Structure 1
Amino acid sequence: MNKTTTPILILLVLLIAVVFQSAFIVQQTEKAIVLQLGKPDNNVYAPGLHFKIPFIQNVIYFDSRLLEYDAQPAEALTKDKKALVLDNYARWRIVNPLLFYQTVRTIPGAQARLDDIVYSQLRAALGRYTLTEIVSTERDTIMQMVTKRSSSLIKAYGIEIVDVRIKRTDLPPENQRAIFGRMRAERERQAKQYRSEGQQESITIKSLANRQRTVIIAKANKEAEIIRGQGDAIATKIYAESLGKDEEFYNFQRSLEAYKDSFKNNTRIIVTPDNKFLQEMQ
């Protein structure tokens, strides 16, 4: 290598370094600003190839896409003085990188401002509605109003809020315990009412069944007595007719019945041989 080519190579390397330090590319999803000795040059650079003064200026890139901020749950009061724990989020984007850098500088700084503004607007909006309206009927209206007002207030920071939504609404722990206690007492009251109504219905059914049983048994006994009386009358008639035809057979039948009634359970009877009671055995 001769003395002529060495300076040329050094100059070429320096030229390449200067070009690399001068050129910068902004992606399609980004916007950029250039700082000169720590101060912005009041220009916003769109996607594409751009140039800056090497070693003096530096580039800061900002995401131009929609960003999401998930806020920490916080309490708010409704119109009817009910406390709610709100878990909300916001979708936002940087519309003016220069103003953004001059006011909040970083994403965490922007999120801090978002937290203050969105929460204050949510709390103010919820204070105009009752708990039932917030949970069911007026939720979309509230979200649209909060989004519009929050975006208007945060415009001074180069930010646009696209949407604010409530992910979840809860009651504070002490309110939950009180509500659960009321719900439990209400369910116990209903259970007692159902039990008392069931017992009353059970007593009514049992009383009706017992009355029907008593009536059925009485009718059955009545019919049984009638049938038994009719049978006894027929039997008596038959006996009378049959025994009337033969007096000796009647006496024999009556003696057998007397023996049957007398000689029970090993009964002992002492009589004389000529006793009339034993005449049918002689």
Structure 2
Amino acid sequence: MKYMKSIISGLIAIVILVVIFASVTTVASGNRGVLLQLGAVKPTILTEGFHFKIPFIQTVQLIEVRVQKEESSQTAASKDLQIVTTNVAVNYSVNPDAVNKLYQEIGLDYRSRIVDPAIAESLKAITAQYTAEELISKRPEVSAKVKDMLGKKLTKYFMILEDINIKEFAFSEEFNKAIESKQTAEQNALRAQRDLERIKIEAEQKIAQAGAEAEALRLKKQEVTAELIQLKQIEVQEKALEKWDGRLPSVTGGATPFIDLNGLTTK
């Protein structure tokens, strides 16, 4: 009888311990707890930390509310009917204040049921509004529109869009060749235009230089007077006289002497 009491006491203690452990729960950091009572979702949302619950009646479903990353590759047609494959990275999170509604209306597979289809639909809808070249040249604008549309879709399902990054637009090989040919033609046209401008500038410089030389010659001609010519003649005769050794030429002809002695004498 004594042993029976001990066994019963031990069983009671075990039951109490089980009930105590079943009455507490812990919500880890970066999560929220959805409180379920006999399978039904309760409005109470459990935050991070230690909580009590009714044992064997209430359970807690943890849902992560940290920022999550989803990468997707979608193929769609542009406005000019070019096939474009868009690689995008999406950062989103579950609304911490609505995890109970998310669990109740969507469940834990919200990524495959909501996020992936929303990304695909947003990318295809926005891609169709731009030509292939505009997708490249207006990339920030395209990214902003995709973000706006995707953000509205996720908000309807209790999720928050943090950011998106369009990593790449991939086009067909034919389109890439066409773009390369166009860029080459534009570069050649720009090079030809620069050469034409250079030639034009060089021609203008030559014209200006020729004009300057003509003007200088004109000014020099204006400076030449009868007095200046006579002075130059005297200077030449003086230099010749300085070199004369005092002897007269042994051969004379009918030519006029090359030195005008009268011009060197003083009247």
Shared fold, TM over 0.5: yes
Deviation at 1:231, TM superposition (A): 2.3
Using structure 1 for the length normalisation, give the TM-score: 0.58
- Partner Cα separation in structure 2 for residue 187 and residue 63 of structure 1: 56
Query: Among the aligned pairs, what percent are the same residue?
Result: 11
Deviation at 1:184, TM superposition (A): 4.4
Please give the secondary structure, in 2, of the residue aligned with 1:166. Answer: strand
TM alignment of 1:95-110, pairs within 5 A:
95-101=101-107, 105=108, 109-110=109-110
Aligned to 1:192: 192
TM alignment of 1:22-171, pairs within 5 A:
22-25=22-25, 27=27, 29-32=31-34, 41-44=39-42, 46-47=45-46, 48-53=51-56, 59=59, 61-63=61-63, 65=65, 67-81=67-81, 83=84, 85-93=86-94, 94=99, 95-101=101-107, 105=108, 109-127=109-127, 129-130=129-130, 132=134, 135=139, 140=144, 143-149=147-153, 152=156, 159-163=157-161, 165-168=163-166, 170-171=168-169
- Partner Cα separation in structure 2 for residue 200 and residue 194 of structure 1: 10
- Partner Cα separation in structure 2 for residue 126 and residue 27 of structure 1: 40
Please give the secondary structure, in 2, of the residue aligned with 1:193. Answer: helix
Determine which structure has more spread, i.e. the larger CA radius of gyration.
Answer: 1
More strand, by proportion: 2
Using structure 2 for the length normalisation, give the TM-score: 0.60
Count of residues in correspondence between the two structures: 227
Partner AA of 2:102 in structure 1: N
Residues 118 and 232 from structure 1, CA distance in 2 versus in 1: closer, same or farther, beyond 3 angstroms? closer
- Partner Cα separation in structure 2 for residue 116 and residue 140 of structure 1: 18
Contact residue 89 and residue 164 of structure 2 kept, 8 A: yes
2:249 pairs, out of 242, 251, 258, with 258
Deviation at 1:126, TM superposition (A): 0.9
Please give the secondary structure, in 2, of the residue aligned with 1:96. Answer: helix
What are the ranges of 5 or more consecutive residues in structure 1 without an aligned counterpart?
A: 153-158, 239-252, 262-282
- Partner Cα separation in structure 2 for residue 203 and residue 41 of structure 1: 91
What are the ranges of 5 or more consecutive residues in structure 2 without an aligned counterpart?
A: 239-243, 253-267
Task: Kindly provide the CA deviation profile for residues 76-107 of structure 1, in whole angstroms up to 9, marking residues without a partner as x.
Answer: 43334453624241524243324444xxx4xx
- Partner Cα separation in structure 1 for residue 251 and residue 88 of structure 2: 101
Partner AA of 1:19 in structure 2: V
Greater shift in the superposed pair: 213-222 or 16-25: 213-222
Deviation at 1:186, TM superposition (A): 1.7
Contact residue 43 and residue 98 of structure 1 kept, 8 A: yes
